[in-house]
Amino acid sequence: MPLHEAALYEKLPGLAVRCAICHHRCTINEGKCGICSVRVNKKGTLYPTTYGLITSEAVDPIEKKPLYHFLPGTRCYSLGGIGCNFHCEHCQNWHISRATGDMVRLTGLSPQDGVAHAIRQGCSSIAWTYNEPTIWHEYARDMGLLARTNGLGTVYVTNGYITEEALRDLSPVLNAFRVDIKSFSDDFYRKICGGRLEPVLNSTILAKELNMHIEVVTLIIPGLNDSPDEIDALIRWVIEHTGPSTPVHFTRFHPDYHMTDRAATPVALLEKIYRRAKELGLRFPYLGNVYRHPFEHTYCPQCGELLIERAGYDITIRSLDNHHCKRCGEVIEIVTDIGKKT
């Protein structure tokens, strides 16, 4: 795949450049790469070296992202590459997020072929996922334009560390912003992820303002981000800034990568967080990584009717009719058609 010049960077004296794709805003000297390891300065020009190169390709249920209120029950064409702008100690995809091009096999896939694969396999959307899509900006933007032209939805499964200018550049071709808010503590972000909290919150607010569908995931790690005060602050922030109908997935931690010294999250703790979220006014909290749990289902926030039943990634629509609860008529905010949201 030929090299493509990067978007959104500044040329500096002495052949250095400053990347503006993520909030690290790396200054990159000639011959070096940014924190993400895939954006490289070659003689004063910045290149995304993984443009059109993938490590992972799959047809997933959209619920696997997880997205519960975006095209429910459909299939999503999912792509991953290598690299990341975070260095999370608990990363579950570390084999690609921490990889470089000489460590894994990379397969060429043009934007045109990616869209063709999605259509041929009966998918309703394309997701850039598995590793951080922000660092794949030019590739996702080019494929996203073709996807939207062909009636496909588009999804970022992201850590939210994208800059305002990059998100605005991407916004015409991006439908859904499925963001990890890993903690509501800046100290956690600095120590565990190698980033900061505020840029993630700001990009999530901006994605909402740009009319993207928002769903939040928070992995609950015992002893690190599970204090009642922090959880309350996160829930209140979501309600205030992205709205009480924002789906929030509180997911179960399993030991991995450099964080194998902690036990999996107790299900009872997740249940407590779920009930607290409802108490504070969040309309659609969910639990994740807890198979066949009743708190995976969608219930009417007004009357409690079971609307969508889930068993893992399989769903059954029980009492939902044209975005309304069949029992009480409450409007349920779910995207069922691209460009149409209630």
Q: Which two tokens stand for residue 106?
A: 């990379």
Least confident range from 98-112, 180-194, 243-257: namely 98-112
Enter the DSSP assignment of 279.
H
What mean pLDDT is predicted for residues 286-310?
97
What mean pLDDT is predicted for residues 222-245?
98
CA distance 77 to 144: 12
Residue 102 is predicted with a pLDDT of 72
What mean pLDDT is predicted for residues 30-42?
97
Domain boundaries, the chain: 9-48, 53-297
Model confidence, pTM: 0.97
pLDDT bucket at 307, cuts 50 / 70 / 90: very high
pLDDT at 139 over 70: yes
**Residue at 214: amino acid letter:** I
pLDDT at 341 over 50: no
Q: CB-based contacts of 200: which residues, under 8 Å, 6+ apart?
A: 159, 160, 161, 179, 180, 181, 182, 189
What rounded mean pLDDT belongs to the chain?
96
Burial 151-162 (b: 16+ CB within 10 A, else e): ebbbbbbbbbbb
pLDDT bucket at 3, cuts 50 / 70 / 90: confident
pLDDT bucket at 339, cuts 50 / 70 / 90: low
Burial 259-273 (b: 16+ CB within 10 A, else e): beeeeebeeeebbeb
Does domain 53-297 fall under CATH 3.40.309.10? My reply is no
pLDDT at 342 over 50: no
> Tokens 């069922």 identify what position?
336
Helix axes of 111-120 and 137-149: crossing angle, nearest 10 degrees: 50
